[in-house]
Structure 1
Amino acid sequence: MTDLRDAAMRSKAWPFEEARRVLKRYGKGAPEKGHVLFETGYGPSGLPHIGTFGEVARTTMVRRAFELISDIPTRLLCFSDDMDGLRKVPTNVPNREEMAEDLHLPLTRVRDPFGTHDSFGAHNNARLRAFLDRFGFEYEFASSTQYYAEGRFDEALLTVLERFDKIMEIMLPSLGGVEAERVNTYSPFLPVSPKTGHVLQVPTLERNVAKGTIVYQEPDGEKVEVPVTGGHVKLQWKPDWGMRWAALGVDYEMYGKDLIPSAELSAKICRALGEPAPELFNYELFLDEAGQKISKSKGNGLSMEDWLKYASPESLSLFMYQKPKTAKRLYFDVIPKAVDEYHQHLRAYEGQDAAARLNNPVFHIHGGEVPASTLVVPFAMLLNLASVSGARDKDALWGFIRRYAPDAGPETHPDLDAAADFAVKYFHDFVAPERRFRAPDARERAAMEDLAARLRDWQGGLDAEALQSLVFAVGKAHGFEPLRDWFKALYEVLLGASQGPRFGGFIALYGVEETIALIEKGLAGELAA
């Protein structure tokens, strides 16, 4: 354990780099609260999505890394800001007219349009918890409504009242652009109207620190005095974020790059309340196929459900692990590569020493309990097999797979079985509509005829490397320079794509006789037709 910890303290894997930043906060021992607190935030005005998964998955990776380099206990708090007022009716829910009647109520008082829970906030919180449980995350759930009502924030809220002017000094300069008109009306406190239950954005007219109250004016003109404790008010979200960090002693939180200015303000507010701000980590945003930022409201890019229809959650975790500080396209075409890279890392892990394992993404994906890969055929190869075989289900692929790997079966190779099912779905949904076969030119035709002839005489069995050498030799014999032009021709004529698998491996999987027949179809123009 000591050697592993020493290696972790030197590892350049980003979760360990982040974990060491957290450890520096408590170099002399555990904090007074007895644990290190990691937090993620969730806005339950919408359903949990792929960004929610990414934030919890990445934070969990840092938490596990911290637990390897330190004996200080940890907690992960998934916080739902469900006391926010409903500002607009979502477009993807039923009973929208009824919801419109509940505008400005806290989300936990908005009627559930689905009719399954006490409120819209409760519905989305339940969805969040089911979502996190599905992936086996270890976390504690926290509700803003509950924390405010139970008084868990009371002490911090009284400090906000006491330091009201300081917080206004922090916030007011930030109210530029569309928020500039709020400079004269802004208050960090949002009273919950005892008349309507609405969360009100109104000025604070009077403050009484001794009594712990504020005075504001209702829309009907009546002045009302309410305590800032016990859930009678909530804070604007930026002060709320900073107050939460201070009240709970949050040590680490991630957020998207678009929230950098907000996080900086919240950190200042946290310090103004007398507590150190957490260690913060901003990650880059995901882009769609056109390079535009993915938006929940636009529905562009790839959803969580989309990914899991075609690949495992572990492959998505790998995508989240890789280069969190780099903007990445999150679209369907990244899935096959992520699947194969995940299994490449699994296979590499078996032969690595301790230091190399700590730098392997699968260590962080699985928290050190790394399984063996049973994917003996790459996902990209399965896609091509589905293409040429016209398979409608995974059972059709298994007929080819068993010939290539006779010891493999669905029970003994669950990764392969799942991937075969995913590959058929992915091929029919994305590959088949985009295939564009072409006829070979004269040199390509001669080379393919030569390849077919050599395969008819082949006596080397299903040795993928030997078959690859054979294909390679044919390309050289017919003067292809660079040789990738030869392989590109094979892919475009036989598979209808400009990229493809190692062709020798493809022949071994699909079969020599079957490949000869495929070449003959390509030469006859049947595929292009």
Structure 2
Amino acid sequence: MSSSPENIIGKGTWIDKIAYTIVEREKKLGRSTANLNVESGLGASGIPHIGSMGDAVRAYGISLALQNLGYSSELIAFSDDLDGLRKVPAGLPEWLEDHICKPVSSIPDPFGDCHDSYGQHMSSLLLEGLNSAGIKYTFKSGTQTYKSGILADQIHKILSNSKLIGDKIAESTGQQKYLKFLPYFPICENCNRLYVANSIEYLENDRAVTYSCTGNTIGKKLIQGCGHTGRVKIDSGNGKLAWKVEFAARWQAFDIKFEAFGKDIMDSVKMNDWISDEILKFNHPLHAKYEMFLDKGGKKISKSAGNVLTPQMWLKYGTPESLLLLLYKRISGTRHVSIDDIPTLMDEYDLFEDIFFGKVKEPNDSKRLKINGVYEYINHLRPPVDDSSSIHIPYRILIQQANLFKYQIQESDLLLNTIFDRLKKYRLVKEEDIKKKDLIDKITLAVNWVGDFSGLTEDDDVDGSRSGEKLEMSSIQKEAILRIGNDLTNLISNINKKNKDIKSQDNDLAQEVQTIIFNNAKNNNLQPKEIFRILYKILINAEKGPRLGNYIVDLGIDNVVKVIEKRT
């Protein structure tokens, strides 16, 4: 059923719906809509992953949608680099154990001297990913925010109401800790650690907290304190609010109207909403809940677990557009994601572009509008005026070609030119296309993929992906495809008996392959184009491609037969 144009908000995506809801909510609250900031918290205690970037990218998309609706908006990217290191993430050096509970902005960079601190290095990795994807943001360092005193008024109000807050936390979450201590963690001036120094009393007139470094349980581990007692001014930067109350302080200080959250911090968000509304008298921002990214084994992608898929890893093999497509397609629902998704998303982005420019027809109006909207957000609401510079070659073709020559050609420029010549042979590119940066970049990404993952073995597909997924087809189609595999095996067997060399330029052999495909379609009362389409899906995950006879010979008939057997 088609959607009528008058019901479409903005570009017709979930992003636009959230932006519209923000505007309507602010109007109902009676607040000014002159500036509608959104926020994303950046963790700095471990290597940032795709999920971390997804939070910021989606918030940026909503900021763009607000701008598209005519409102001023910016993304505040807040790095929690005053956070204490709770445990050493997998793969990082053991000497970091000596820095447990110290603020990550005060810990040396474990990767060398490229950054001033552990926290700065981790923050920079995520900012690098955002910059590579063209995401615009205003960066806020937690360390600098506390040191500058920006949150001092909010801290004062929160600590002045600490008993009320402690009772509310205990009532809402069952956590008894803040009935005894203040929701503020000083940095002990003796051992320089957070969390082990517990705040005892707030001296309102001095705006200072007294504390005793008596230790704390981090996770399930008891961390001993050093026994020091002291006091700290709340505007000194030598302490930070607990998570149960810090979000609210930031929301008011930065005038935040939207922030998404993962279900793992739902209790903290609810508590912060109450504090924002009741203690700070600032209506909490609109929220959207997103599900966690999981690895293919169903485990949460986590900094500490060591199964991190970073933006840098993704961008070594895929374009920024493919990564943004992953993050903008939807916000709800659990996502299983891995490097193996890159070829599909690379090709899916090309499909979105073809639909946007009308080269591929999408009959469902609602679906077409959403696809076009997502495409525009991927391009920061500044899509190209035409697709004349775009060359859409299935990513798996590029992987396959790189795979064929990776052992023969070591020099990168020569390998790139060799792959380009093969694409010309298949009439997928023209001579002048060698000058197009997007094409060269895609070939380079495919070469990177092959260099790190591929190497045709008995367990590999032609593209080295090891997917082995069965392709859905009717029984008649499956019989025809299996028959083609058998006939190709017999063809190779006959050639071997005659001791003939199989050469990729052997047009006679390519024609024999082509004839085998046609005959099997005809013998099963199927249209040849139907069988060609299935073979393209099997080999390159696309609906069409180069002339199959030549392509199968080039890939290696034995390799192709193995893939047919695995996919049927």
Question: Does TM, normalized by the shorter one, top 0.5?
Answer: yes
Please say which of residues 106-115 and 424-433 is displaced more in the overlay.
424-433
> What amino acid does structure 2 have at the position aligned with 1:396?
T
Preserved CA contact (<8 Å) 1:106 1:198 = yes
User: Would you say 1:376 and 2:392 are equivalent positions?
Assistant: yes
Please say which of residues 185-194 and 347-356 is displaced more in the overlay.
347-356
Paired residues for 1:112-127 under 5 Å: 112-113=109-110, 114-127=112-125
Quick one: distance in 1 between partners of 2:18 and 2:206?
42
Q: Please, which of 289, 293, 298 is the counterpart of residue 286 of structure 1?
A: 293
Please say which of residues 339-348 and 248-257 is displaced more in the overlay.
248-257
Q: Please, which of 421, 424, 427 is the counterpart of residue 399 of structure 1?
A: 421
SS at match of 1:345: helix
- Find the counterpart in structure 2 of residue 339 from structure 1: 346
Quick one: distance in 1 between partners of 2:438 and 2:455?
21
Post-superposition CA distance 1:360-393 (Å, at most 9, x none): 2110111221133622322233334455677853
Quick one: distance in 2 between partners of 1:237 and 1:332?
32
Could you say if the C-alpha distance between residues 136 and 26 of structure 1 is closer, same or farther in structure 2, counting changes exceeding 3 Å?
Answer: same
Q: Please, which of 258, 265, 276 is the counterpart of residue 270 of structure 1?
A: 276
User: Would you say 1:78 and 2:77 are equivalent positions?
Assistant: yes
Post-superposition CA distance 1:273-327 (Å, at most 9, x none): 2111111112111121222222222222633233222111111110111122121
Quick one: distance in 1 between partners of 2:456 and 2:557?
21
Quick one: distance in 2 between partners of 1:499 and 1:36?
48
Could you say if the C-alpha distance between residues 32 and 151 of structure 1 is closer, same or farther in structure 2, counting changes exceeding 3 Å?
Answer: farther
> What amino acid does structure 2 have at the position aligned with 1:435?
D
Q: CA deviation at 1:270?
A: 1.5
Post-superposition CA distance 1:402-425 (Å, at most 9, x none): 131452545443333222233344
Quick one: distance in 1 between partners of 2:395 and 2:40?
33
Could you say if the C-alpha distance between residues 323 and 188 of structure 1 is closer, same or farther in structure 2, counting changes exceeding 3 Å?
Answer: same
Q: CA deviation at 1:253?
A: 1.1
Q: CA deviation at 1:436?
A: 6.4
Preserved CA contact (<8 Å) 1:445 1:523 = no
Please say which of residues 440-449 and 471-480 is displaced more in the overlay.
440-449
Q: Please, which of 503, 506, 513 is the counterpart of residue 546 of structure 2?
A: 506
Preserved CA contact (<8 Å) 2:188 2:228 = no
SS at match of 2:40: strand
Q: CA deviation at 1:357?
A: 5.8
- Find the counterpart in structure 2 of residue 134 from structure 1: 132
Q: CA deviation at 1:167?
A: 1.5
User: Would you say 1:363 and 2:365 are equivalent positions?
Assistant: no
Paired residues for 1:193-232 under 5 Å: 193-219=188-214, 224-232=230-238
Could you say if the C-alpha distance between residues 474 and 185 of structure 1 is closer, same or farther in structure 2, counting changes exceeding 3 Å?
Answer: farther
Q: CA deviation at 1:184?
A: 5.6
User: Would you say 1:417 and 2:440 are equivalent positions?
Assistant: yes
- Find the counterpart in structure 1 of residue 217 from structure 2: none
> What amino acid does structure 2 have at the position aligned with 1:111?
P
Paired residues for 1:84-233 under 5 Å: 84-94=83-93, 96-97=94-95, 99-113=96-110, 114-173=112-171, 176=174, 182=177, 185-219=180-214, 224-233=230-239
Task: Normalising by structure 2, report the TM-score.
Answer: 0.75
> What amino acid does structure 1 have at the position aligned with 2:245?
P
- Find the counterpart in structure 2 of residue 259 from structure 1: 265
Q: CA deviation at 1:186?
A: 4.2
- Find the counterpart in structure 2 of residue 303 from structure 1: 310
Q: Number of residues paired by the alignment?
A: 498
- Find the counterpart in structure 1 of residue 503 from structure 2: none
Q: CA deviation at 1:133?
A: 2.8
Paired residues for 1:466-505 under 5 Å: 473-479=518-524, 500-501=540-541, 505=545
Q: Percent identity?
A: 25
User: Would you say 1:319 and 2:326 are equivalent positions?
Assistant: yes
Preserved CA contact (<8 Å) 2:243 2:268 = no
| Unaligned 5+ runs, structure 2 | 215-225, 410-414, 463-467, 469-480, 495-506
Preserved CA contact (<8 Å) 1:444 1:489 = no
User: Would you say 1:432 and 2:473 are equivalent positions?
Assistant: no
Please say which of residues 399-408 and 516-525 is displaced more in the overlay.
516-525
Q: CA deviation at 1:25?
A: 3.3
- Find the counterpart in structure 2 of residue 464 from structure 1: none
Q: CA deviation at 1:109?
A: 2.3
Could you say if the C-alpha distance between residues 227 and 32 of structure 1 is closer, same or farther in structure 2, counting changes exceeding 3 Å?
Answer: farther
Task: Normalising by structure 1, report the TM-score.
Answer: 0.80
Quick one: distance in 1 between partners of 2:355 and 2:483?
43
Preserved CA contact (<8 Å) 2:81 2:142 = yes
Quick one: distance in 1 between partners of 2:229 and 2:308?
48
> What amino acid does structure 1 have at the position aligned with 2:443?
A
User: Would you say 1:445 and 2:445 are equivalent positions?
Assistant: no
| Unaligned 5+ runs, structure 1 | 460-466, 492-496
Could you say if the C-alpha distance between residues 200 and 423 of structure 1 is closer, same or farther in structure 2, counting changes exceeding 3 Å?
Answer: closer
Preserved CA contact (<8 Å) 1:447 1:475 = no
Could you say if the C-alpha distance between residues 504 and 291 of structure 1 is closer, same or farther in structure 2, counting changes exceeding 3 Å?
Answer: same
> What amino acid does structure 2 have at the position aligned with 1:275?
F
Could you say if the C-alpha distance between residues 51 and 409 of structure 1 is closer, same or farther in structure 2, counting changes exceeding 3 Å?
Answer: farther
Quick one: distance in 1 between partners of 2:560 and 2:34?
72
Quick one: distance in 2 between partners of 1:29 and 1:11?
25
Post-superposition CA distance 1:187-228 (Å, at most 9, x none): 301122233333244554333434433333344666544433
Preserved CA contact (<8 Å) 1:85 1:198 = yes
Quick one: distance in 2 between partners of 1:187 and 1:60?
34
Quick one: distance in 2 between partners of 1:20 and 1:305?
33
Q: CA deviation at 1:245?
A: 1.3
SS at match of 1:9: coil
> What amino acid does structure 2 have at the position aligned with 1:505?
G
Could you say if the C-alpha distance between residues 503 and 313 of structure 1 is closer, same or farther in structure 2, counting changes exceeding 3 Å?
Answer: closer
